[in-house]
């Protein structure tokens, strides 16, 4: 209806009402009838967009009235002392249109101002007095009168047809009325006087031409729009409140924090369980807007009390998929977060891939790698050790920030994985002047394998003290923000000589916490050249052989098992990285010591 409103007809109707007010004499008594306005408005309450379009109907003469002399400032038209008396004369006037007589040789009262209804009393052409038609002019242009003059001349044409030329006082100095006159005040006067040739009513070809629709800020005949979504939309209000809380932290305590860098970080959470739920909430509190969950499970009855993103309703009918349920919960908590859930069972070493599962597993690997590439930080939050292997290797390959969190009954570890520099090309472990930091698997002397089959009930569940997960998750998120605020980012060395670098100092490598005694230790561990997840030989094997390499790792398939007495007891990854050879050397040494019977040799080993 707003768009379809007949704007021309609305103006014609308003113009007809103006002419009727003139002809009936009502406009003489009430000049405000000469200047109605129209307002079309529409409120889009879903988007909080408010559209409005003003029209100030102006009756246009045909042929039009013309200006007979260039407009002049009122301070030029009259002398300055009389200008002060003009302002004084307006002090008691309340009409928007008036008749004024200026008598320069009557110093005591040079100005006589009255309403239009006193025309016959005030208007005079005798002696040297000057009679003027006047109105309160809203125009701010130095030489152009405002639109109300058109309708005022229409009144003059009909009510005093004998007038064909008249000076018009366009009074604009209502703000100066009542002020004491001085030279500075004279310079502030903006009123002008313009002499107008009035087209006689008998000469008009048409008097029903009406214009007046306002142009928008782009000078087009279109409505104006006021967007109040930022102040009225609850979603926008929630976003502003979150940002304000973070900005207060920066303003008061840490002025060097780069909040935009934190907010722009894209986080991939591998695991949407207890650790995933608490980690996501902490990331959201830091203002991160892009969070993706990866999980293969469904919400069970034991989850809602321990995992803050789920409710009892999520457990019904077999349970909702965890990843999507977590993402949906995040969007309910904060609608502006871009939270997505990916239901995915991550392929793992020691978990055989059958021929029927081959293509599905290949597609899963490709999807996971694409997720890692499209995010900035990867959190490893799964229950099993082997499920962290593939994300660790992919994070290393694509040089992403990888943070691993693992829980014991009353202990936890939160650690960041070391990253290869751009120029290293996965050729070694040197990272500039510092050795590359180790990953979650670097301290292991055995490759990850199937730890999920044939587990008892207590082994199938994460049995930890309930307060441990939020502590570990919060520590991991703060570790990430510390990395993001460091000048070297993911390549930042652990605390040492540059402890003060960055808003929060240097990020630790590993934080190990113990609820027993409420102790916490920061540990630094170097990368292992035999690591089954991040060593150069593993990363390059994937770069060269792709999915075929992964398939050998999943199925534990040895390329050459001739040197092994029992091939099935030797891991492909251990053989590839040299751990299997290290095991054989250790076994041979221990066997030699056993046969020698020397306690000294055993103690030496």
- Residues with catalytic function: 461
Cβ atoms 442, 435 nearer than 8 A: no
At 232, is the secondary structure helix, strand, or coil?
Answer: helix
- 404 is written with which tokens? 């691993």
Torsion angle, alpha carbons of 385, 556, 400, 371, to 10: -90
Pairing status of strand 290-295 against strand 401-407: unpaired
CA pair distance 501, 487, nearest whole angstrom = 7
Other beta carbons within 10 angstroms of residue 159's beta carbon come to 15
State the first-to-last Cα distance of the chain, in angstroms, to the nearest integer. Answer: 92
Tell the residue number behind the tokens 């000057």, with chain if given.
130
Listed in sequence order, the DSSP H helices in 295-373 are 303-306, 322-333, 358-373
CA pair distance 363, 482, nearest whole angstrom = 35
Q: What contacts 219, CB < 8 A, 6 or more positions away?
A: none
- 351 is written with which tokens? 């978990």
Tell the residue number behind the tokens 């009930």, with chain if given.
457
Going by C-alpha positions, the residue among 364, 538, 346 that lies closest to residue 447 is 538
CA pair distance 325, 446, nearest whole angstrom = 36
Cβ atoms 346, 296 nearer than 8 A: yes
Tell the residue number behind the tokens 């934080």, with chain if given.
511
Other beta carbons within 10 angstroms of residue 235's beta carbon come to 11
Phi-psi region of 531 (alpha: psi -120 to 50; beta: other; left: phi over 0): beta
Torsion angle, alpha carbons of 51, 57, 63, 68, to 10: -100
126 alpha-carbon distance from chain centroid = 72
Cross-strand bridge partners of residue 415: 404, 510
Tell the residue number behind the tokens 């305590």, with chain if given.
253
Cis amide leading into 485 (omega within 30): no
């Amino acid at each position: 209806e707003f768009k379809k409103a007949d704007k021309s007809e609305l103006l014609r109707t308003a113009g007809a009402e103006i002419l009727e007010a003139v002809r009936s004499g009502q406009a003489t008594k009430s000049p405000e009838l000469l200047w109605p306005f129209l307002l079309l408005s529409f409120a889009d309450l879903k988007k909080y967009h408010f559209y409005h379009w003003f029209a100030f109907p102006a009756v246009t003469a045909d042929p039009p009235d013309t200006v007979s002399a260039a407009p002049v400032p009122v301070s030029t038209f009259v002398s300055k002392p009389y200008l002060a008396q003009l302002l004084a004369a307006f002090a008691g006037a309340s009409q928007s249109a008036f008749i004024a007589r200026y008598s320069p040789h009557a110093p005591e009262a040079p100005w006589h101002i009255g309403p239009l209804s006193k025309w016959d009393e005030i208007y005079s052409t005798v002696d040297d007095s000057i009679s003027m038609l006047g109105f309160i002019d809203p125009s701010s242009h130095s030489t152009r009168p405002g639109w109300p003059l058109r309708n005022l001349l229409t009144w003059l044409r009909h009510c005093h047809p004998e007038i064909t030329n008249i000076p018009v006082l366009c009074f604009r100095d209502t703000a100066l009325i009542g002020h004491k006159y001085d030279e500075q005040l004279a310079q502030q006067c903006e009123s002008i006087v313009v002499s107008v040739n009035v087209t006689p009513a008998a000469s008009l070809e048409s008097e029903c031409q009406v214009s007046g629709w306002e142009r928008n800020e782009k000078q087009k005949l279109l409505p104006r729009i006021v967007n109040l979504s930022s102040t009225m939309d609850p979603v926008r209000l929630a976003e502003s409140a979150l940002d304000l809380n973070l900005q207060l932290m920066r303003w008061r305590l840490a002025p060097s924090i780069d909040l935009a860098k934190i907010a722009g970080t894209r986080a991939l959470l591998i695991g949407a369980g207890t650790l995933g739920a608490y980690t996501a909430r902490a990331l959201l509190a830091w203002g991160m807007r892009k969070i993706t969950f990866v999980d293969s499970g469904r919400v069970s009855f034991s989850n809602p009390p321990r995992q803050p993103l789920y409710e009892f309703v999520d457990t019904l009918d077999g349970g909702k998929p965890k990843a999507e349920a977590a993402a949906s919960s995040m969007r309910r908590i904060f609608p502006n977060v871009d939270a997505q859930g990916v239901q995915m069972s991550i392929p793992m070493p020691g978990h055989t891939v059958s021929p029927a599962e081959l293509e599905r597993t290949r597609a899963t690997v490709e999807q996971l790698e694409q997720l890692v590439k499209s995010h900035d930080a990867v959190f490893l939050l799964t229950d099993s050790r082997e499920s962290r292997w593939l994300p660790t290797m992919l994070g290393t390959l694509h040089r992403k920030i990888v943070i691993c969190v693992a829980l014991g009954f009353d202990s936890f570890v939160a650690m960041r994985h070391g990253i290869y520099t751009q120029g290293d090309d996965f050729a070694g472990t040197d990272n500039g002047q510092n050795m590359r930091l180790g990953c979650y698997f670097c301290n292991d002397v055995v490759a990850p394998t199937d730890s999920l089959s044939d587990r008892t009930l207590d082994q199938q569940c994460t049995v930890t003290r309930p307060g441990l997960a939020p502590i570990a998750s919060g520590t991991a998120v703060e570790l990430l923000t510390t990395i993001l605020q460091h000048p070297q980012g993911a390549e930042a060395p652990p605390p040492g000589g540059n402890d003060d670098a960055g808003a929060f100092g240097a990020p630790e490598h590993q934080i190990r916490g113990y609820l027993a005694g409420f102790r916490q230790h920061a540990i630094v561990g170097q990368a292992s050249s035999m690591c089954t997840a991040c060593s150069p030989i593993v990363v390059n094997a994937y770069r060269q052989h792709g999915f075929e390499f992964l398939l050998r790792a999943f199925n534990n398939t040895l390329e050459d098992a001739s040197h092994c007495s029992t091939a099935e007891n030797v891991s492909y990854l251990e053989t590839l990285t040299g751990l299997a050879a290290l095991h054989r050397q250790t076994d041979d040494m221990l066997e030699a010591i056993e046969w020698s019977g020397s306690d000294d040799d055993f103690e030496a080993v």
